[in-house]
Structure formats: C-alpha cells, structure tokens
Amino acid sequence: MKRSSRARIGATATVSVLSLALITGCGGGSDDDSKESGASSPSTTASTTAKALSAAELKKLLLAKGDLAGYEIDAADESLPKSKSEVKTDKAECTPLAHAMAGLAPGDTDASVSYTLTKSPTATASPDEASLENALNIEITFVGLSSYDGDGAEKAVKAVSDATAACTGGFTIKAQGETQKVTKVASVKASGKGDESVGFSVAADMDGEGTATINTEVVRVGNTVSSYYTINLASLDSGKATPVPTTVIDAQLAKLK
C-alpha cells in the first residue's frame, strides 16, 4: 500500500478533528485566486435594529434529509465542537478563523448551530489500490450558522477578513485534545453569494505525510452568517484544496432568504 494511502486512512480515523483543521491546511485556490480579494463587497447593510435568531430558530434553517440530492446530512455530528470554549488559539486575532473552520460563530453571539453534509463515491467490489482510493473519496462539508443583533453579522464577516490579513504567518489551534500548527493563511476568492462573502485558506503539515489544503468560505445574508469548510479524505495530502460546493452554499442560502 502506498504511504499516502496510509496517511489517508489515518485521516479517516481522525475525522473528528478535521472540523477544527487539526490535520489540515493551506492557501488553496489558483494563483489567480490568491491575488484577488477574498471578500465580496457588501450589497446590503444589516439593520441596526435587527434581532438575532435563537439557536432553536437557526436549527429550523438547516438543510434536512432530502433537501440536497447526493448528500447525507447529519445535524448532530459529534465531531463538531459545541462551544467556543473548546477551541483555543495562540493568537487572539486568529480566533475568528478557527471558529469559522469549526462551524462556530466567527463573531460575538451565542446563537449558533452546525452540521455536516457528506457525499460518498459509488462503492466498488475490487480490493485493489484504486478501490481504496475510491473508498476514501469522501467529501465532507462542515456548515455553521450564526445570527446577530444589529450590525453584528457585518462585524463577524469583517473579523474573518481582518484575521485573514493578520494571520498570514500562521497560528496554533488547540481543540479536542489535539494541537495543530497552521503554517500559512491566505485570502482566496469567495463565491460572491449572499449580501457579502469572504474566503480564506490555511495550511499545515500532516506529520510528514504531505500538506493538507483547506478552503473556508463565510457568507452573510442579512443578520445571519453561514460558514463552509470542505475536505476530501482521498486528497488531503495532495496539497490541493477541495472547493466548497456551490450547490451546498446555494441550498443553505435558499433557506436563509
């Protein structure tokens, strides 16, 4: 078995920490993407009198079984942290990035929920290397929703944008008993969805088994913020990012409008 395959099997076994980017990484997207701003321009200003939705109200806005063909949806994924107290960084200015990657609110609010969507390949009967690669070709998207009073949602998106610029040299994440050094942060082109959006990428070495590349996108609709973080277990050590599926973003945003 190839060394890279062993690394991917290890990644499968430790998927619970993937939501925290504890084995993941770096500045994805093309060279052209990295030259563009990660944020789209705000098209709508949130009302200063807007009231945050409760966590219970946010749960009703999550995608549910049957909402998106080809995906399994888990609204009770235990791999996701339940509170910000479970996620620590060595640089306070980088904390919004860690929170967004963990499905937590990147801004100042207690109203947040998270869930995962999994897209698996068609199973094959062959036990060879190609079949193993196919079996690991599992795409997982971690989604977080958070809601804010007043202009809190706009401030949350700005916090992510500011953190991306401030943390280019990396930072350390501690969560779920694991510690991971993020070696690089870069801005990547966002989808332009919602009222405004921002994209960033982080990089970390997978214990000498290659560099994992992860892109995260944060999108605001009114006073609600959604975050999207996607991995593919078969390509974690390839150095290339798995794009956040626009189908997932579109389906989730349709619930928010």
How far, in Å, are 69, 87, 88, 138, 186 from residue 92 at the CA level?
A: 39, 11, 9, 33, 17
Cβ–Cβ under 8 Å, residues 121 and 98 = no
* Residues 130-147, mean pLDDT to the nearest whole number: 81
Tell me if the pTM is above 0.85.
no
Identify the band that residue 171 occupies on the pLDDT scale cut at 50, 70 and 90. Answer: very high
User: Which of 101-105, 152-156, 180-184 is predicted least confidently?
Assistant: 180-184
Rg, the chain, Cα only: 17
Per-residue confidence at 128, pLDDT binned at 50, 70, 90? low
Question: How is residue 12 written in tokens?
Answer: 């499968």
77 near 114, Cβ under 8 Å?
yes
Residue of higher predicted confidence among 209 and 108: 108
When pLDDT is averaged across residues 69-94 and rounded to a whole number, the result is 89
Say yes or no to pLDDT of 15 above 60: no
Does 36 score more than 50 pLDDT?
A: no
Neighbouring C-beta atoms of residue 20, cutoff 10 Å: 27
